[in-house]
């Protein structure tokens, strides 16, 4: 990925030029190492690390969105051993690989990271200088970060670091996700999955992206592109590969003949039409104990007003004996009332329900009831949960 370069940001470059030992993590944190401080035993230490979240626009720093910072090491103190007043909290886990010991708050309207970093370092190191005037955080021991930090994203997820939920987001890391069907619901599922740190996202659909698809999919397509006769998976790959590096388009449907292509996937979203091929897919996923979510959207035009019901049915290691009760396996044409009416907002809601349940299964969201079947009825505005594990 194209990482944040210190020499491309004036505030970071100024810190660098003045001798501060900087490191930028893949999750969007700036570390300033070798910060001298006084601990509670009135001892002089030289190995403190100041940590701050980076506010970024692509690979460029912007004005810090928070005045707060963190510290790794003993509790920074005045020269008499009393904790400095900017210390307001204790340890926390920022990412799976980055934990801090203290939470700091020196309120100010910092215009850039040079002003923010030097203010905090001044507060901490001035007390160390009271013991030994020669100590400094300006070591000139520069170690530039690896310009090719391994990540599934093309730019840093500063949203997770800003919200301090990296350890929660990383619960989704490493998964290989499959999405069968890139229609209205499937395309919104892709939109949400692409913003998570899953390892791979495989897209399966043989259809072209046509004009009617544009009115029930996220984003907007320029009209000239319809003449390119793009496959859905290719069109959506072009869009979302700008954010996520490991999206794999498959320009065909999954059938009983090629269902084994799913064997190495971690989780499946089924947003496809009903039919015998869906039964083959479900049987195969069940045989390999691959969890999945099936999405359903039913809609009727009654007296010139739409009546709809949305369904999300989950199968996991906790419960999977209920799916055929709710998932239609008949050919779509067998339903006399099947008009395939779809509306973008309900497609999006169907996808949101599926995404929230997927994240519950992996502990991103707390899941009290662990329901495996949910419905939403538009005309009563009612959500219903059922099929709970024994």
Q: Taking residues 224-241, report their average pLDDT.
A: 96
Structure tokens at 354: 């599926």
Strand order across the 21-24 sheet:
21-24, 29-38, 44-53, 68-72, 102-105, 87-89
- The string of pLDDT tens digits covering residues 329-372 is 877 654 433 456 789 999 999 999 999 999 999 999 999 999 99
**pLDDT score of 149 more than 60:** no
Q: Which residues, 6 or more positions from 188, have their beta carbon under 8 angstroms from its beta carbon?
A: 217, 218, 347, 348, 350, 351, 352
Q: Is 215 helix (H, G, I), strand (E, B) or coil?
A: helix
| pLDDT given for residue 332 in this prediction | 61
CA distance 61 to 4: 9
Task: Compute and round to an integer the Cα radius of gyration of the chain.
Answer: 26
pLDDT at position 336, please? 38
In the chain, what are the domains? 6-150 (no CATH), 174-386 (3.40.50.720)
- 10 Å CB burial of residue 229 (0-12, 13-18, 19+) is exposed
Structure tokens at 98: 């980055």
pLDDT of 187 higher than 60 = yes
Read off φ and ψ for residue 231, nearest 5 degrees.
-70, 145
Over residues 127-144, the mean pLDDT reads 86
Q: What is the DSSP string of 67-83?
A: -EEEEESSPPB-TTSPB
How high is the pLDDT of residue 274?
A: 82
What phi-psi label fits residue 303: left (phi over 0), alpha (psi between -120 and 50 degrees) or beta? left
224 or 276, which is more confident? 224
Average pLDDT over residues 199-211: 97
pLDDT digits (tens, 9 = 90+) for 36-94: 999 999 999 999 999 999 999 988 999 999 999 999 999 999 999 999 999 999 999 99
- Give percent of the chain with pLDDT exceeding 90: 81
Q: What is the pTM of this model?
A: 0.80
């Amino acid at each position: 990925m194209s990482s944040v370069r210190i020499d491309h940001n004036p505030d970071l470059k100024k810190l660098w030029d003045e001798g501060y030992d900087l490191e930028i993590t893949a999750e969007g944190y700036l570390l300033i190492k070798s910060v001298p401080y006084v601990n509670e035993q009135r001892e002089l230490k030289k190995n403190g690390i100041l940590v701050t979240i980076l506010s970024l626009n692509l690979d460029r720093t912007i004005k810090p969105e928070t005045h707060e910072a963190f510290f790794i090491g003993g509790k920074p103190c005045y020269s008499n051993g009393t904790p400095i007043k900017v210390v307001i909290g204790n340890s926390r886990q920022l990412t799976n690989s980055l934990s801090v010991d203290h939470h700091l708050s020196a309120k100010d309207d910092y215009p850039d990271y040079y002003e923010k970093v030097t203010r905090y370092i001044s507060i901490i190191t001035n007390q160390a200088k009271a013991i030994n005037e020669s100590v400094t955080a300006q070591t000139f021991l520069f170690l530039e970060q690896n310009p090719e930090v391994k990540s599934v994203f093309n730019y840093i997820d500063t949203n997770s670091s800003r919200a301090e939920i990296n350890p929660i987001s990383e619960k989704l890391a490493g998964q290989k996700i499959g999405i069968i069907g890139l229609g209205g619901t499937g395309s919104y599922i892709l939109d949400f999955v692409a913003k998570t740190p899953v390892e791979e996202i495989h897209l399966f659909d043989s259809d072209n992206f046509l004009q009617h698809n544009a009115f029930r999919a996220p984003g907007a397509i320029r009209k000239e592109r319809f003449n390119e006769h793009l496959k859905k998976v290719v069109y959506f790959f072009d869009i979302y590969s700008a954010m996520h590096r490991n999206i794999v388009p498959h320009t065909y449907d999954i059938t009983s003949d090629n269902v084994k292509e799913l064997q190495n996937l971690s989780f499946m979203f089924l947003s496809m039409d009903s039919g015998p091929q869906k039964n083959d897919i479900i049987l195969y996923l069940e045989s390999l104990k691959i969890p999945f979510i099936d999405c359903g959207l039913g809609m009727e035009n009654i007296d010139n007003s739409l009546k709809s019901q949305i369904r999300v049915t989950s199968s996991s290691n906790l419960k999977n004996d209920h799916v055929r009760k709710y998932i239609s396996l008949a050919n779509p044409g067998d339903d006399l009332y099947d008009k395939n009416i779809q509306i973008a907002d309900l497609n999006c809601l169907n996808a949101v329900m599926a995404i929230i349940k997927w994240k519950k299964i992996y502990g991103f969201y707390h899941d009290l009831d662990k329901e495996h079947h949910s419905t939403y009825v538009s005309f009563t505005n009612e959500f219903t949960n059922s099929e709970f594990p024994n």
